[in-house]
Structure 1
Amino acid sequence: MRLNDLLGRRVLDAEGDVIGNVADVRLVQDGPMLVSMQRALRVDGLIVVENRHTRLFGYERHVGPELLRRLIHARLGEVWYLPWDDIEEITDEGVTIAPRRADLRPLEDLARY
């Protein structure tokens, strides 16, 4: 599977409710050493956006002017970070995750680490 295949895919929680769509992936460079003398990338998690047809502009975190961040959040709805370990299944219909919507971690929390 290619990363591009994940983008836009519907995400369903443990109860079968649609919570949003995959808007981005978070990569971590901690894999094995490559010939280029850099470590390989691995998928650490998914960024899920509540509103379906949106793009991330970088203001969904704690960056940029407050007014602009509020406007972006109003357009995006909720934005969550979903660790790769929480994914149960990836099918053509969507991504099924183990936690419920209420248990998801906001992307803003990840930006503070």
Structure 2
Amino acid sequence: MRLNELLGRRVVDADGDDVGGVADVRLVQDSPMLVSMQRSLRVDGLIVVENRSTRLFGYERHVGPELLRRLVHARLGEVWYLPWSDVENVAEVVTLKSRRTALRPLEELARY
């Protein structure tokens, strides 16, 4: 599966309740060097937005003026970070192992 096939895909929790849509994929580069002198990337998690928008504006986290962040959140709804370990199945719909109430907001993700 290609990463762009994940974008916009519907996400449901363990109970089958709609969570939103995949807006972005977080990758980490922590593996050994490849022959081409590049490191391979692995999927660390998904960024999911409640209103299924696949366009993020960069103000979903701790950056920018408070008023602008509030406007973006009003348009997107809730924004969550889902660790890849919480993903149960990826098919036509991404199914999670946990319930919607257990999801962590993207703003709680450590700043780095």
1:39 shift after superposition: 1.9
* 1:112 matched residue in structure 2: 111
Over 4 Å off, 4+ runs: none
1:97 alignment partner in structure 2: 96
Counterpart-to-counterpart distance in 2, 1:110 and 1:70:
18
Contact 1:60 1:79 in 2 (8 A): yes
Contact 2:26 2:45 in 1 (8 A): yes
Unaligned runs of 5+ in 1: none
Matched pairs, number: 112
Partner of 1:52: 52
Between the aligned partners of 1:70 and 1:78, the Cα distance in structure 2 is 11
1:35 corresponds in structure 2 to 35
1:45-76 CA-to-partner distances (Å, cap 9, x unmatched) read 00000002351011000001111111001101
How much does 1:35 deviate?
2.7
Q: Say whether the 8 Å CA contact 1:59–1:68 is kept in structure 2.
A: yes
Q: Decide whether the 8 Å contact of 1:48 with 1:82 is kept in 2.
A: yes
1:38 CA drift (Å): 3.1
Q: TM-score, normalized by length of structure 1?
A: 0.93
Superposed displacement of residue 37, structure 1: 2.8
Which deviates further from its counterpart, 26-35 or 10-19? 26-35
Q: In structure 2, list runs of 5 or more residues that go unmatched.
A: none
Question: 1:111: Cα distance to partner?
Answer: 4.2
- The aligned amino acid for 2:87 is I
Give the superposed CA RMSD.
1.2
Write the distance in 1 (CA, Å) between the matches of 2:47 and 2:54. Answer: 12
Paired position in structure 1 for 2:64 = 64
Query: Equivalents in 2 of 1:81, 1:2: separation in Å?
Result: 20
Contact 1:54 1:76 in 2 (8 A): no
